[in-house]
Amino acid sequence: MTSTEEFVRYVCDMIDGAGSIRYRKLFGEYGIYCDGVYCACICDNMLLVKITEGGKQLLPDAETAYPYEGSRTRCFLITEFNDQKLLERLIRTTCGELQKTKSRK
């Protein structure tokens, strides 16, 4: 099953306060970017956010999953969309950490 653009737009609207959010089709699914940094993906209408230390502090008991079969990287599997502020904080925190990692390389 592939993701619907309607679901992708819904998720992007939910996290819009985290920064400059955009999405792009990637391998038949969607990549989510915050301030130009790839930080999450939507696969099979599921939001999967890259795992960072800050994300672990915000979601200590979060379920994790692989975004697609054969992936080597687990991500936070977000299934609840009730707390928009928490989602925005998660994306902002994740993006911030990934930007720091990217600039060190």
Identify the CATH number of the domain in which residue 67 sits. Answer: 3.30.1460.30
Domain count across the chain: 1
The domain of 33 spans 5-104
pLDDT per position as a tens digit, 36-45 = 999 999 999 9
Using the predicted structure, report yes or no on whether residue 71 has a pLDDT greater than 90. no
Let me know: does 21 contact 88? Beta carbons within 8 Å: no
Q: Beta strands of the chain (E only): which ranges? A: 21-26, 29-34, 37-43, 46-50, 64-65, 75-78
Q: What is the pTM of this model?
A: 0.89
Radius of gyration of the chain (CA): 13
**pLDDT score, position 77:** 96
**How far out from the chain centre does Cα 95 lie?**
9
